[in-house]
Amino acid sequence: MIEIEGLQKTFSAGDNPTAALKDVSLSIKQGEIFGIIGRSGAGKSTLVRCINLLERPSAGRISVNGREISSLSGAALREARREIGMIFQHFNLLSSRTVFDNVAFPLELAGRSKAEIAREVTPLLDLVGLTDKRDRYPSELSGGQKQRVGIARALASKPAVLLCDEATSALDPETTKSILALLRDINRKLGLTIVLITHEMPVIKEICDRVAVLDQGSVVEQGTVFEIFTAPQAEITRRFVSDVIDRPLPSMLIERLQATPLTQGNVVLRIVFTGPTANSPIISEVVQRYGVLLNILQGNVEYIQGAPYGNIVVEAVGQPQAVQEVIDHIRDNNLRVEVLGHVADAHRAVA
């Protein structure tokens, strides 16, 4: 659907050109919701603007729906852009036009008749839940309603691709969820390919099928959302993921935690369960087999793309050799485990 090969974009600023995109290559499939995430200044908005040639790349190729657009201009480019809808962070609605007229605007520019426009716009307003707002003006709408108008307007030309540039960043969490649910519904009903640019990992987790992580103009990692969340490779990705699914350790535990083993102490472990392993009875197994008690200090389970991801922190109470055997056993069962540190054994300390 969208093929990006060796994309580069350099902005000239006097004697100091800035490389906003560096050899970016991505393949986005028909009908998927593909997320592109990065911090401010990573090149996300430049990338999405290159996809519809609002920014012309310095080098590389972009193909949309089997058609290379990176070399187009004039009428050919305008025709190609009709297949690419776009919604923005700040809505970009025309304040002097009603909801109906805002959605109708691209059809008017295309020279469609009033009857054709009415036939096209009315079902779009129904699709985005704004039939009762058709005669209202943007100033009378909430932020979520304005974004729904923007979505309907982007769909008016019946695009094959919908680009979303920070489309939920200006919205509160509850409204964000409703807009993401709407985009998912549109994706399923229309088979629309959606490219979603964001700096918010919860947005990626909520709606995307696959994701690419952009850092300083380069793609540092890409994969399914489940892969990226459960086994991030790049440091920037790990930071994104930890903001969403790794709960901070309790302050009382942090105060007790030591980096080196203690004479009368226990090891603190983080055990990660992913996919089918989330249902593994590993805690009861190691207690029975090795005589090591695993005292749960913290735990939670997330569902990512419908698959469970569990993360528990335990204090392993037992002889050092038996604890090491437990760690080896856990790893042999394809679970991730890391030693967070050591704590004094409260019961032995009291004794």
Please provide residue 54's backbone torsions phi and psi, each rounded to the nearest 5 degrees. -65, -30
The answer to whether residues 189 and 300 belong to one domain is: no
Position 124 scores a pLDDT of: 96
pLDDT digit string, tens, across residues 205-243:
999 999 999 999 999 999 999 999 888 999 999 989 887
Percent of the chain with pLDDT over 70: 96
| Residues 169, 199 contacting (CB under 8 angstroms) | yes
- In one-letter notation, the amino acid at residue 2 is I
pLDDT level of residue 351 (50, 70, 90 thresholds) = very low
Element at 174 (helix H, strand E): helix 173-190
Of the pLDDT bands very low, low, confident and very high (cuts 50, 70, 90), residue 350 is very low
Strand order in 67-68's β-sheet?
18-28, 2-11, 59-64, 67-68
272-315 pLDDT tens trace:
888 666 667 778 888 889 999 999 898 888 888 888 888 889 99
Q: Which of 189, 220, 244 is the last residue of a domain?
A: 244
| Same domain for 6 and 154 | yes
* Nearest by Cα to 80 from 93, 91, 66: 66
Q: Are residues 129 and 225 in the same domain?
A: yes
Q: Would the pTM of this model clear 0.75, i.e. be above it? A: yes
Which of 244, 266, 284 delimits the end of a domain?
244
318 — alpha (psi -120 to 50), left (phi > 0) or beta?
left
- Judgement on whether residues 18 and 154 belong to the same structural domain of the protein: yes
Domain count, the chain: 2
Task: Output the domain CATH number for residue 104.
Answer: 3.40.50.300
Residues 217 and 113 in one domain: yes
Residues 32 and 9 in one domain: yes
The pLDDT, as a whole number, for residue 349 is 46
Residue 81 has pLDDT above 80, yes or no: yes
The rounded distance, in Å, linking the Cα atoms of 288 and 283 is 9
| 238, 300: one domain | no
> In whole angstroms, what is the distance from residue 125 CA to residue 104 CA?
11
Q: Which domain holds residue 19?
A: 2-244
Mean pLDDT of the chain: 90
Are 13 and 97 in a shared domain?
Answer: yes
Q: What is the pLDDT of residues 115-155, one digit of tens each?
A: 999 999 999 999 999 999 999 999 999 999 999 999 999 99
